[in-house]
Amino acid sequence: MRPSTSSTGVDTLAALIRSSRSTVALTGAGISVPSGIPDFRTPGEGIWSDVDPFEVASIEAFRRDPKRFWEFYRPRFAMLGGKRPNPAHAALAALESEGLLAAVITQNIDRLHRAAGTRELIEVHGSIATSSCVACGQAYGLAEVDGLFDSRGIAVCDVCPAGLVKPDVVLFGEMLPAAAIERARELAGGAELMVCIGSSLEVYPAAGLPELTLAAGGRVAIVTKGPTPYDRDAALKLEGDVADELTAVLAALG
């Protein structure tokens, strides 16, 4: 399908949301770009544009060389910790508070949906909000982690000092949390409308969620830049700035 022009598309998406008895949002890295967080693969800018994630951000990398792992992750913790929700996050929280959005399923680990006020949030890749000891399970809030680093530059547990502390995010090579992905699938299968925002819809299993909505007779709307595998099946696609588009949709619903 052809992308809609912004004004026409905004009105159409607002009408789809208004008529839907169950709307779910699926968000990816693109929704956080207006907050100053780079996406994953934009040349020269994306998080993985100049590094192999399997070498520095996989569960095997953590086990093999935790020092190198934290050399990569520690500055990103500092960077993400200072970021704030943008109007796209705020728009989704407002839609939920108005009873127009049942839940947000996110692939992001940045905590921004929760900071914006979203209550029904399924974080299928975990969150940087906490890190935990792999030995005893002791959990630490984001602000506490920086105090756990030893002279080697490795975060260690202060309950069992032999235990290494790992972010509570899904690293490459790890399984997604079963309860979160099951809840996401349940929501997707029961949605009359799924709005996919800021995602290329290429990373599975989250990328398979729109198919569950379509298979159950629901509709999919896409708000993202660049092509996705679902463009042809989508009821609507908007390709403008996600913050501008969602703010306009919220206004149209007001």
Q: Which residues are catalytic, by number? A: 125
d(CA 47, CA 14): 33
CA distances from 181 to 26, 126, 177, 186, 246 (A): 12, 11, 6, 9, 25
- Please state, as a whole number, how many other Cβ atoms lie within 10 Å of the Cβ of residue 169: 19
**Among residues 23, 55, 50, which one has the least CA distance to residue 188?**
23
**Among residues 133, 183, 185, which one has the least CA distance to residue 159?**
133
Q: Is the peptide bond before 205 cis (omega within 30 degrees of 0)?
A: yes
- Our CA dihedral for 174, 180, 182, 188, rounded to 10 degrees, sits at -120
